[in-house]
Amino acid sequence: MNRESAYITGSCIIRQHQVFLNGECIWEAGQELELPDFLRAGYDHFSGQYPKFHKMDALSKLGWLAAEVLLKDTAISQLSPEQVGMVLSNRSSSLDTDLRYYATVKEFASPALFVYTLPNIVMGEIAIRHGFKGENTFFVSDTFDTALMSTYPAQLLATTPLQACICGWVEVMEQQYEVVLFLVENTPHDKAQPLTAAALQALYQQKNS
């Protein structure tokens, strides 16, 4: 495996009601907003015209919104569907939605909540939005595992048809959330840097203060 054949070509971080694209804060909402209201405001600002967004759980909304920002000005849509994959991770899996669903079971179990009681559904929502059909995997770990997130996507780019991979961390539990998505490609662009654990860690911590 040649790790130098994988490059970080973009990043999107959403935390503390701020949205960063490639290290630059491009939008922020009032800290007083509850998470659902922040997500709605973000949707109105960055997207709109996708009513299914409102049906998603918080985890899917966060990942979907970050992907909208991350991919907006990229040439990712020029790749074939099978050439774009995803490797995401988080700490709480789908527990936030699992608990909401469990609360409905006592009276009328909600089918709309049930379909989000798996963490990898967020990748399905992103795939549907952008038409991606490449390899995708979701890991659950206590913290953002930069070693895993550098080696596994690099291996996918080196050994499968993937030309690009969205990787990172999508975490939510009640009002606490954090999204850190990276676009990783096997060809470098303007400000691309080699995909390494140290590079991911530096980008992850860039605004983690």
- Identify residue 102 by its one-letter amino acid code: Y
Residue 51 interacts with another protein (CB under 8 A)?
yes
**Stretch of 9-17, 66-74, 106-114, 163-171 contacting another protein, by CB under 8 A:** 106-114
Residue 191 interacts with another protein (CB under 8 A)?
no
**Stretch of 84-92, 103-111, 126-134, 174-182 contacting another protein, by CB under 8 A:** 103-111
Query: Contact with another protein (CB under 8 A): which of 2, 108, 142, 209?
Result: 108
- Mention every residue, 6+ apart, whose C-beta is less than 8 A from residue 25: 18, 19, 207
Q: What would you measure as the largest C-alpha separation in the chain, in angstroms?
A: 55
Q: How far is the CB of 63 from another protein (least distance, A)?
A: 18
Residue 117 interacts with another protein (CB under 8 A)?
no
Residue 115 interacts with another protein (CB under 8 A)?
yes
Residue 112 interacts with another protein (CB under 8 A)?
yes
Residue 30 interacts with another protein (CB under 8 A)?
no
**Stretch of 18-26, 75-83, 102-110, 151-159 contacting another protein, by CB under 8 A:** 102-110
CA distance 181 to 8: 10
Q: How far is the CB of 106 from another protein (least distance, A)?
A: 13
Sign of CA dihedral 109, 110, 111, 114: negative
Q: Which residues bind another protein (CB under 8 A)?
A: 40, 51, 54-55, 107-112, 115
